[in-house]
Structure 1
Amino acid sequence: MIQDNLLLILSLLFAISILTMISGKLKIAYPIFLVISGLLISLIPGIPPVSLNPDLVFLIFLPPLLYAAAWNTSWNDFWRLKRPISLLGFGLVIFTSAAVAFACQLMIPGFSLAAGFLLGGIISPPDAIAATSVLQGLKVPKRALTILEGESLVNDAASLIVFRFALAAVMTGQFHMWEATRTFFVVAGMGILIGLVIAHVVYAIHRFFPTTPAIDAAFTLITPYIMYITAEHFHVSGVLAVVSGGLFLTYRSPDLFSYDARIQVLGLWDTLVFLLNGFVFILIGLQLPGIIRGMENYSVGEAISYAIIISVVTILIRIIWVFPGAYVPRMLFKSIRAKEPDPGWRNILLIGWSGMRGVVSLASALAVPLTLANERAFPHRNLILFITFVVILFTLVLQGLSLKPVIRLLKIKGDPTEKETMQALDMRLRLANAVLAHIDERYEKEIGTNETYKRVRDRYARMIEITQQKLDAPSTKDEGTSFLPHYRQMLLELIDVRRRELNHFRHNNTFSEELIKEREWELDLEEARLRR
């Protein structure tokens, strides 16, 4: 069992952390390193096999991964781009699942259509973490990034529903289209309702009860599991419960957390998602030798050929889908042409080529049961796991490593920086005006009698004056902009100076440890603000 190999897994997680640091140095997205690490782990001789109950895979991995994806999604951007996101998140998932199902039935001997839909549901959703980490630092339009992030949230839910129905068809040997359609809407609707009800309860607890940063972080960790387990208890979609509840709480998050709670929660989730990704890839690496030995009716060469063909099918299906999905609605509806600019074929191709598979597909494959209801071995389970791993490896390595050259070849450019600069200046001006109005209203007497209050007011008045000048003449590059990088570097150096002094105080017992930690916390916040 997994607990007997805890030291092994912890050691491998440590190795994954080191490899991820190396990936940062090499500027290669860490999911690519993780999938290669999983392959290398499987090749180590003498690695003990590790097994995990398939029923526990969804319960352990899915709620936090889905909740983190929802937490990082902007509801306003999600709703603004709901049409392309829905076409990719629902339409493309069903289209991909069907294409994979028929390809498997035609190509693989003894592979049923239901098993094909099961495999299609597993490998149909691209991974948000893979896409955003690969595209991080590259100049791509924000619209494309938003669509990819929103798509991954929706397609996880859609693919897991396809997975659920296909699994039921394999387990029972029966599938009724009308009954499945009716059940789908009930399962989806009730899952969303349960997620929103629990989210409102959690919102009320965060909003109206006294909490601490530690309690807030604990609640965010517990919440997705409560949503998922409650929905599954009533035999509805736990996935949609987590997604809908997570989106609601994301939208209301400014009302929930204090500044220190927000910093702690973000750090917690970054760490958790990284560890879960690493753990899943380690798990498949440890199981891969047993999976290969368990493919009794297929040679490794045959399995690899099937997997490569299916990988190519998933890539081609996505590229084929994105162009009609982008242009047909524009051809049919004048309102879309009037409201939205032409996305351009280059940006559409970029979205089509950014379909890297990742951890959700791997977790879904690991969740396939070991046996059927009659205790017979689940048909083609090891082949399904093997194909899933190869598809992830193929798409991450091929598409992930080629994205940068593709962007350069297509001459794709990011959003104009002038627009972002003007928006930042406009926001700064509005914030400064709001502060100045508040000072004049609440502290008029203090401003007239106390020099400190007057200096604060003068600071914001000067900020408004400078910002207004930049908005009136955005093309002029004055000293207000040219010196900023050097000035920011100086402020960071001053933080390092104070840190060194704090360490000196600590070693010499000049001040109490509690006082030193308070100042370190202040410096951490200041550095975070400057670096962001």
Structure 2
Amino acid sequence: MDLTLVVVLGVISIVFVAAFSERLNLAAPLSLVLVGIGLSFLPGVPHPEVEPELILAGVLPPLLYSAAVNMPMVDFRRNIRPITGLAVLLVVGSTLGAGWLFHWLVPDIGWPAAFALGAVISPTDAVAATSVGRRLGLPPRLLTVLEGEGLVNDASALVLLRSAVAAVAGSVSVWGIVGEFAFAVVVAVAIGILVGYVNVRVRALLGNAVLNTAISFVVPFIAFLPAEESGASGVLAVVVAGLVTGHLAPRHLRATDRLAETVNWRTVAFLLESGMFLLMGLSVKTLVDEVHKDGSSAWHALYIGLAASVLVILARIVFVGPLVAGLYREQRKAARFKPRLESTQAVLRGDKDIPAVTERLDKASPRRVAHFRKRLDRAAADVEFRLTETLGWRGGVVLGWAGMRGAITLAAAQTLPQDTPDRALLVLIAYVVATVTLLVQGLTLPAVIRAARVPEEDPGKLRREYVRLMGELNDAARSLLDDPALEDPGNGPFSDRVLDRVRSDVRVPAEASANRPAPDHAESVFQYLRLRLRVLTEQSGRLQRARSSGQYSSEALGRAQTSLDVETARLEQLADR
């Protein structure tokens, strides 16, 4: 069948299945896999063969970049311990345990190939889990941990897979693997930071939404390729570049550019993500035929795959217990540390006198005191986060069960060398693990969430926080408008009519002003646009300071950012006419 027709039918199928899944209240990835499996056994249905390198080097980087850009840096930093535990320690443990199991059940493949297959089935795919979790109102911290794990664990698994594949062809020492892992992480982080920073600074010079979005499509590969060529982790470099870009973009990129990029990237990520799950289902018939052609038994692969699925599920559940206990200890430590922070903050405000602290502050320069105050406020916000945003054993139950594998597992399995003993059998085993965990855990996850009775996010709390944040932004706007030195550069002071109109806009949320007519007189209109954009710029600056302080949740910050961006983009379009 013509490739163009296959792509057209694939996109139509993806959209249709996704829309139907919403009506059934079912995660779209699960539906796509089931549909793909059913279609794979129908006569006449094409079974497209996609090179695994195309998925790992062509599909995975943009998917990870798209997710990382939308991951708030503050949330990632605050949850770095559970994310690292799940994405690194659990992946290493699962690789070793699964490798031992595979070598025991299929001794002819040897230890390197066994560990290679263990690395293949170790990383989880958080897409299905987070889609179900958002629909059922899981707490933001739990969703952040799942998303963060999904961003990082692919890098860990692929580095381990690379070492295991190298061991198949030769000898690799344990210390060599540790050194390679450290090198891959350090170099990838450095490349990701550099690419993310340069990306934002260069795109800020373009001033065109179309050109900006076009450049953003190649950024993941700009980070991926040099990292891979240097022997580091390309996917980790992509993740870091995405995190840096998402953190810096509100400061340097225009609102119009960011809104356009967001919509386009959502569409691209949806098609790539859904296409991988559909392709995963369509692959089952081809994999079974290859196993039969190789003289092996598909039932044997099913038996081993089920055993490996049980192993990785149990390993995750066992690992999550100490992880949650560690978070409890972190919470108790934060509770003990909180009074000391509050006392130091009281000294800075002048409400309390601690001689040792006061003496040090008196000797410090104003700049150092301001820097210390900023760090102290951030530490206080982090402590408050640990005390209020807890996972608990209920969240631990969900976290332990949300370990589904996905299409990346199958693509990674396809990269095993062609001369690997029983290669077709190993690839089918990986497929069984990915499919079983995805369907069994994915379909039962809603029931587990309800049974665990995980507290839902309080919409009233978010609403109150958003109103408080918007009040702070509006205070910043009023301070600008009440400045006696305020004037329109090159045109003198702003007219009273324009000032009154903008003051009126500031008293309501920004999105409400979009429905009000602008002043009638042409010069007043342009003055109004210039002043309103200056106010929005001032509010955006205050929002960035609020983001850095960590005193507001990412949900409230994101809603406020969207509100400012929509209004700014509308006015920028009017000003450009």
Question: 1:69 touches 1:128 (CA, 8 Å); kept in 2?
Answer: no
Q: AA paired with 2:410?
A: L
Deviations 1:367-406 (A, max 9, x none): 334x2xxxxx333332233223222222222222222222
Q: Give the match for residue 27 of structure 1.
A: 25
Does residue 411 of the first structure (1) align with residue 453 of the second (2)?
yes
Which of 222, 226, 229 in structure 2 is aligned with 1:230?
A: 226
Which of 394, 404, 410 in structure 2 is aligned with 1:346?
A: 394
User: How do 1:127-206 and structure 2 match up within 5 A?
Assistant: 127-170=125-168, 172-206=169-203
Question: 1:41 touches 1:282 (CA, 8 Å); kept in 2?
Answer: no
SS at match of 1:51: coil
Aligned equivalents of 1:405 and 1:329: distance in 2? 25
Does residue 217 of the first structure (1) align with residue 259 of the second (2)?
no
Aligned equivalents of 1:343 and 1:222: distance in 2? 37
Which of 239, 245, 249 in structure 1 is aligned with 2:245?
A: 249
Q: Give the match for residue 441 of structure 2.
A: 399
User: What is the Cα deviation at residue 31 of structure 1?
Assistant: 0.8
Deviations 1:143-190 (A, max 9, x none): 1111111111121211111121122222x1422112222222222222
Question: 1:123 touches 1:357 (CA, 8 Å); kept in 2?
Answer: yes
User: What is the Cα deviation at residue 428 of structure 1?
Assistant: 1.5
Question: 1:16 touches 1:37 (CA, 8 Å); kept in 2?
Answer: no
Aligned equivalents of 1:124 and 1:66: distance in 2? 17
Cα gap change, 1:380/1:267 in structure 2, threshold over 3 Å: closer, same or farther?
farther
Unaligned runs of 5+ in 1: 372-376, 465-486, 492-523
Cα gap change, 1:334/1:282 in structure 2, threshold over 3 Å: closer, same or farther?
closer
Aligned equivalents of 1:311 and 1:189: distance in 2? 32
Spell out structure 1 runs of 4+ moving beyond 6 A.
444-449
Question: 1:92 touches 1:321 (CA, 8 Å); kept in 2?
Answer: yes
SS at match of 2:109: coil
Q: AA paired with 1:454?
A: D
Cα gap change, 1:305/1:336 in structure 2, threshold over 3 Å: closer, same or farther?
farther
SS at match of 1:215: helix
User: What is the Cα deviation at residue 217 of structure 1?
Assistant: 0.7
The TM-score, its normalising length taken from structure 1, stands at 0.79
SS at match of 1:110: helix
Q: AA paired with 2:181?
A: F
Cα gap change, 1:329/1:435 in structure 2, threshold over 3 Å: closer, same or farther?
closer
SS at match of 1:252: helix
Which of 491, 500, 513 in structure 2 is aligned with 1:454?
A: 500
Q: Give the match for residue 411 of structure 2.
A: 363
Q: AA paired with 1:143?
A: R
Question: 1:23 touches 1:29 (CA, 8 Å); kept in 2?
Answer: yes
Aligned equivalents of 1:10 and 1:367: distance in 2? 28
User: What is the Cα deviation at residue 61 of structure 1?
Assistant: 1.4
Question: 1:307 touches 1:390 (CA, 8 Å); kept in 2?
Answer: yes
Cα gap change, 1:20/1:252 in structure 2, threshold over 3 Å: closer, same or farther?
same
Q: Give the match for residue 114 of structure 1.
A: 112
Q: Give the match for residue 476 of structure 1.
A: none
Aligned equivalents of 1:329 and 1:72: distance in 2? 25
User: What is the Cα deviation at residue 349 of structure 1?
Assistant: 0.8
**Could you tell me the percent identity over the aligned residues?**
33
Unaligned runs of 5+ in 2: 337-382, 516-564, 571-577
User: How do 1:293-372 and structure 2 match up within 5 A?
Assistant: 293-295=289-291, 296-328=294-326, 330-331=328-329, 335=333, 338=336, 339=383, 340-341=386-387, 343-369=391-417, 371=418
Aligned equivalents of 2:313 and 2:495: distance in 1? 70
User: What is the Cα deviation at residue 124 of structure 1?
Assistant: 1.5
Which of 434, 455, 474 in structure 1 is aligned with 2:476?
A: 434
User: What is the Cα deviation at residue 48 of structure 1?
Assistant: 4.2
Aligned equivalents of 2:454 and 2:327: distance in 1? 23
Which of 47, 51, 54 in structure 2 is aligned with 1:53?
A: 51
Aligned equivalents of 2:241 and 2:442: distance in 1? 31
How many residues were matched structurally?
A: 462
